[in-house]
């Protein structure tokens, strides 16, 4: 075998190894732990559609035909701004929020995210905002509304209400993955960010009706805007009423 053929073979084998390693790494992601179900399959956007910040009562009141039209239109937007790369959900910082087709009542949610500077995102529980995710640095420009305290708080709770600000600053530096563990039972939320308790069994206010109760069931939404954000290992464990 001459030198040129040998080098060509080595390059081909290297490419195969690189591809295999990438595929194996992606396959290792998004595998739910015991008792949990994967909301993101690591391959495509099956099981999701798009919503913005919308009162669930309003879109639930639509006729079946109008709802299907709304959903179909939303998926056009989702395809423009959401993609799957290497087992990760990627959003460009624009567009509708990825929304589960299935509704959830009481649940425990596990999710990893990685964001860029200037990001301002979150997680809606039962369609209600939100567990806050944002740029916690001064350069992010939102210290005046609490970004200096970090992510994980129930930012849409009323000013001064418990849980609005996280108990500790738990965010990791940009470029590193952050990990949430969120439990919603009844109207109360407990949140761990990177294994640190940031919200301790606090009521999530109904943003759409401050005097009303939180919906008993609703979708989980991944809210994104401001800059690219990536998600992976999105798992849910449904909890029976009164359970743990």
Confidence at residue 28, expressed as pLDDT on a 0 to 100 scale: 79
Asked if 215 and 128 touch (Cβ cutoff 8 Å), the reply is yes
Rounded Cα gap, residues 28 and 31, in angstroms = 7
Map out the domains of the chain as residue ranges.
Answer: 1-30, 33-238
pLDDT of 92-113, one tens digit each? 999 999 999 999 999 999 999 9
What tokens were used for 184? 């919603």
pLDDT < 50 positions in the chain: 6, 10, 14, 17-22
Confidence at residue 157, expressed as pLDDT on a 0 to 100 scale: 95
Question: pTM of the prediction?
Answer: 0.87
What tokens were used for 61? 């009141």
Q: Where are the beta strands (DSSP E) in the chain?
A: 37-38, 48-51, 82-85, 88-91, 97-100, 107-115, 120-125, 128-134, 178-185, 188-193, 196-203, 221-223, 229-238
CATH number of 33-238: 2.60.120.560
Rounded Cα gap, residues 20 and 186, in angstroms = 45
Mean predicted lDDT score pLDDT of the chain? 90
Confidence at residue 17, expressed as pLDDT on a 0 to 100 scale: 45
Nearby residues of 117 by Cβ (< 8 Å), 6 or more positions away: 135, 137, 139, 140, 174, 227
Rounded Cα gap, residues 181 and 192, in angstroms = 5
- Count the Cβ atoms, other than its own, within 10 Å of residue 229: 22
SS3 66: helix
Rounded Cα gap, residues 98 and 27, in angstroms = 22
Closest residue by Cα to residue 217 from 125, 131, 108: 125
Question: Which alpha helices (H) appear in 82-208, and where do they start and end?
Answer: none
Confidence at residue 240, expressed as pLDDT on a 0 to 100 scale: 87
What tokens were used for 187? 């109207």
Nearby residues of 75 by Cβ (< 8 Å), 6 or more positions away: 49, 50
């Amino acid at each position: 075998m001459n030198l040129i053929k040998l080098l060509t073979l080595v390059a081909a084998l290297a490419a195969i190894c690189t591809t295999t390693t990438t595929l194996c790494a992606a396959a290792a992601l998004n595998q739910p732990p015991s008792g949990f179900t994967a909301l993101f399959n690591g391959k495509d956007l099956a099981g999701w559609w798009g919503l913005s910040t919308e009162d669930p009562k309003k879109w639930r009141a639509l006729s079946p035909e109008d709802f299907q039209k709304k959903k179909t239109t939303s998926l056009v937007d989702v395809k423009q701004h959401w993609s799957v790369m290497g087992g990760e959900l990627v959003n460009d910082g624009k567009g509708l929020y990825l929304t589960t087709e299935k509704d959830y009542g009481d649940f425990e949610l596990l999710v990893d995210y990685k964001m860029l500077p200037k990001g301002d995102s979150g997680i809606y529980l039962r369609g209600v905002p939100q567990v806050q995710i944002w740029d916690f640095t001064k350069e992010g420009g939102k210290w005046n509304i609490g970004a200096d305290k970090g992510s994980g708080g129930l930012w849409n709770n009323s000013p001064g209400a418990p849980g609005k600000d996280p108990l500790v600053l738990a965010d990791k530096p940009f470029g590193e993955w952050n990990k949430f563990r969120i439990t919603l039972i009844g109207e109360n939320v407990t949140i761990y960010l990177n294994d640190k308790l940031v919200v301790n069994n606090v009521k999530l206010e109904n943003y759409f009706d401050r005097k009303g109760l939180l919906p008993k069931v609703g979708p989980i939404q991944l809210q994104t805007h401001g800059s690219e954000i990536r998600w992976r290992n999105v798992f849910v464990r449904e909890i029976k009423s009164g359970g743990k």
